Amino acid sequence: MHVFKVCLYEFLNGVHRKRLAGRMHMDPSTLSRLVNKNQRIAEEDLDRLIAAVRTSRETPPTMQEIVSLRGLYVRAEREADSTAFRIRGLRAEREQAVRRAIEREDLLNSDRRRLAELRTRSERILRGGDEERAAEEEAKLVPLETRVRELEQALAEAVAALIALEEKLARLERPHRDAGDQTSMRVLADDPLRAAQVLAAIPDEPGRIAMARRLVPELVLPVQLLMFFAELLRRGGVETVMPVMVASLLTMPVRNLAAVLVAAASDRLAPDEEDLDVSWPIAEVRSLLHGMVHKQLEPGNFAALAHLLDADDQHGLAREILAGGAQGPVHDVLRVSAALRGLDAPYLQEATVGRRPEGIADLAGSLRAENRDPDARLVLHTAGQRLGHSELATLADILRVSFRAHDLRDLEEGAALRDDG
């Protein structure tokens, strides 16, 4: 059901939920719970939702999108029904296995008692001096001992089979057991606001982080994560939510992180859509996320994130992320720009803006040292066009004193371009 709900969330991208709920004659909060939580959706509700989406957006969904969504729905329902069928079958097998184990244990206990009685009688006869009769009794012991060993082996196999069935059932029945546990990961994932309340109530930071690492993978939909972080921020403040963000989001796939950033950039979590009495600090969450990715992400992952956003036509968001990460240390800028490839030019331009003349000189020199002359020229051209006159003069003096004639010439070319403009 998770996969279907993710596809459904993407299918509704750009659709105003409140207007959509009005077309479906459904309360907006009911529609939001239907879409955002990992619960089954009735086929008639899916039909109404698709019909409403077709009339609620400027560009209606294509037939291929609708067919794909319905296909995922059928597979999700079949998987749910299949799981229930398997549980019923395994329960029946378990009952049979229990009966077999009990029957074999009864037979084994009976034969063990008979074996003990025969041994006692054989020893008594032997002590009485009747060796011939004692030998006859000893002969009766051999097949009974063999049968006892066979029954012991059969009972051990029956118990092992029963344990295996119990383990299979435990894995399949876990969601059903979790449904009655209001603090289980699956239940909390279906109610991100409740999850945030539970986490905020944990007094120590290590405990909150440990629970968040178990919970966040269950929050599959981007909106669920944003709901969770927004409520945690509202209840505990930045000092509570930030360590949880860093510990949990940075371990998720870059593709998922990109989806969360896209959702945070939208206006999809308005309070009137989620049956809330208070406004959510989505803007603050968005700011924390943007600050986190450029400070915490490894340069290669940061580059991958920017490429994913750009490939998904989120060009403005990609530029915003790049601008935030471009003011870091020179060695990080070098690593990120090398990984960015097609996006390295705007990134290096952003890295130039806001950097002091000494830092620009250091950046250009480091690029030259890595045989990246075109990138160094881009940095100096950008500086020449965008720096104020006093900063431009300071940078020119630094390059002149350092005998960096090529860099000085590139800087002057950039300044000439500004003057020409």
Kindly report the CA angle at 409 between 408 and 411, in degrees rounded to 5? 65
CA 74 remoteness from chain centre: 24
pLDDT given at position 277: 39
Query: Tokens 């041994």 label which residue?
Result: 119
- How many angstroms separate the CA atoms of 6 and 2, rounded? 6
DSSP state letter for 342: G
3-state secondary structure of 297: coil
253, 304 Cβ separation under 8 angstroms? no
Q: Report the 10 Å Cβ neighbour count for 196.
A: 25
Percent residues over pLDDT 90 in the chain: 12
Q: Note the pLDDT tens digit of each residue in 181-236.
A: 444 555 566 677 778 888 888 878 888 888 888 888 777 677 778 888 888 888 88
What are the two backbone dihedrals, phi and then psi, of residue 236, each rounded to the nearest 5 degrees?
-115, -10
CA 97 remoteness from chain centre: 39
Structure tokens at 265: 């950039």
**C-alpha closest to that of 291 among 262, 267, 320, 331:** 320
- How many angstroms separate the CA atoms of 74 and 170, rounded? 26
Q: Note the pLDDT tens digit of each residue in 69-91.
A: 877 777 777 666 666 667 777 77
- How many angstroms separate the CA atoms of 362 and 366, rounded? 6
Query: Tokens 């597979």 label which residue?
Result: 75
**C-alpha closest to that of 226 among 91, 92, 36:** 36
pLDDT at 405 over 50: yes
pLDDT given at position 359: 92
pTM of the model: 0.55
pLDDT at 308 over 80: yes
For residue 93, the one-letter residue type is E
Q: Report the 10 Å Cβ neighbour count for 280.
A: 20
**C-alpha closest to that of 171 among 96, 92, 83, 85:** 83
Q: Note the pLDDT tens digit of each residue in 101-150.
A: 888 888 888 888 888 888 887 787 777 777 777 777 777 788 888 888 88
Kindly report the CA angle at 159 between 155 and 164, in degrees rounded to 5? 150
**C-alpha closest to that of 264 among 316, 301, 234, 225:** 225
- How many angstroms separate the CA atoms of 299 and 336, rounded? 5
Label residue 418 by pLDDT band (50, 70, 90).
Answer: confident
265, 317 Cβ separation under 8 angstroms? yes
- How many angstroms separate the CA atoms of 13 and 25, rounded? 20
CA 290 remoteness from chain centre: 18
- How many angstroms separate the CA atoms of 132 and 283, rounded? 99
Structure tokens at 305: 């994130």
